[in-house]
Amino acid sequence: MLAGTGSDVGKSVIATALCRIFRQDGYSPAPFKAQNMALNSYATPDGFEIGRAQAVQAEAAGIPCHTDMNPLLLKPSSDHTSQVVLNGRAIGNMGAYDYFRQDEGREVLRKEVNAAFDRLKDRYNPIVMEGAGSISELNLHDTDLVNMPMARYAGARVILVADIDRGGVFASAYGSIALQTPDDRKLIKGIIINKFRGDLRLFDQGRKILEDICKVPVLGVVPYFKDIHIEEEDSMELTQKQRSAVSGKVNVAVILLGHISNFTDFGMLEQDPRVNLYYTNNIEEIGKADIILIPGTKSTIDDIITIRSNGVAEAILRAHRNGTTVMGICGGYQMMGLSVSDPDGVEGSVREMPGLGLLPVRTVMEGNKVTRQVQFSFGEGGAACQGYEIHMGRTVPEQNAACSPLNTLQDGTKEGCMADSRTMGTYIHGILDNKTVIDYLIGPYARKQDTARILDYAAFKQQQYDLLADHVRKHIDMPLLYKIMSAND
């Protein structure tokens, strides 16, 4: 188990690297995170929902993703409420206080995540487990499902991951271990220092100090990297991508919504050398874009209210009038329509809001969630493409509306809406992982000499997993890790 001194210390990335390393070394690894909190999710091949990080880790391990890898997913819908997804299916919304109370329901969830682990370990070896946040949240100790109680159940060797970039690494590592019960402390077998900047030799003494005070070995010091691209789960990383428009490239602005989800939709587009992609809610930068993408959101109505009040909605409409292409994906597609209604209060107390009016469609929120992988053709007689759907709500065109379907699913079902070549929306996540769609979208704006470049995004991701594995293998004592994993204590 990779446990953390806090959130965003790099547990997920290290777990991804180890999944790849173990696969390279001839094992059959699988990722596991009992409980994940994230808006970035993914549809499994059999049509269920898990956290995106575990889907990425499974891809690095070379296996199909499965709900047993992340049996419990919390998708925040407000500061106090989350949708609870158990074994790939949404079972309702719950407030944080109720979720973390000690009651019979909590033990039911514990049994479910333990059962998922048991099923997974019967199929794969080793299991690369991941904790959540900090392992020293003492007020949540008795209700914790994902950190040390899960490690105890699994008999896991726990490696503590500490982020040196944020400072206080000695206090956070020592405190995280010292605050455990004596039995849990024995499970912690080592420390990985992550996100180091500078000359590694400068931490030689620090490494020895940590080993002396924590009484466990430091397995490695992993340098910070910027040139390896692994799909992210946490939207905090998007603050580093709030760039500006530039000349000489196709400027693509992704609207930075308050409840943005599945921003991995833009990974391939971000790697295209013809494109300058940036996230923004700045009105001036929106106006400079050639293409505006409105991404998915966990709370469509709340984000409509926000972009209407902060001027972003008007900036999008003004840019569209001036010739900018606007495309919405999932919640963004819903927002582009005439209205979004929520008669049953699926998202909250607001029952209806007008949309941006860019597409002649209306959306009604419904309790049932669609989660599936799809194959489709883009446009009329387009090439075969693939993606996935994760959404609540049904979107239908107005009667006699001037709107053509954007896609045709494999079974012949029409999907999405295209009002014209500059105005379109779809429920399909991953649609921009397909070259056909990207070339159509940016073709009118790209320089002619740049249009022939082809990026095989699937091959690119596999290359990045190998680069990540090489980076981590170089800086972690893998023989010591294998010795720890095979010990009988």
Residues tagged active-site: 330, 429
Could you give the residue ranges of the DSSP H alpha helices within 179-330? 182-187, 204-214, 267-271, 283-287, 300-309, 312-321
Given phi > 0 = left and psi -120 to 50 = alpha, else beta, which region is 401? Answer: beta
Place of tokens 């100090």: 209
* Cross-strand bridge partners of residue 158: 188
Distance, CA of 49 to CA of 42 (rounded, Å): 6
d(CA 55, CA 40): 10
CB-CB contact of 160 with 129 (8 Å):
no
Do residues 207 and 164 lie in contact, with contact meaning Cβ atoms separated by under 8 Å? no
| Rounded (10°) angle between helices 457-475 and 11-24 | 90
Measured torsion, CA atoms of residues 56, 58, 59, 64, in degrees rounded to the nearest 10 = -130
CA distance 87 to 101: 21
At a CB cut-off of 8 Å and minimum separation 6, what does 293 contact? 252, 253, 254, 255, 266, 326, 327, 328, 329, 332
Check: CB of residue 382 under 8 Å from CB of residue 363. Answer: no
User: Partners of 364 in the beta sheet?
Assistant: 341, 394
- Region of 381 (left: φ > 0; alpha: ψ -120 to 50; beta: rest) is left
Q: Which helix (H) or strand (E) holds 391?
A: strand 384-397
Whole-number Å distance between alpha carbons of 196 and 206: 12
Q: Looking at the chain, how many residues does it have?
A: 489
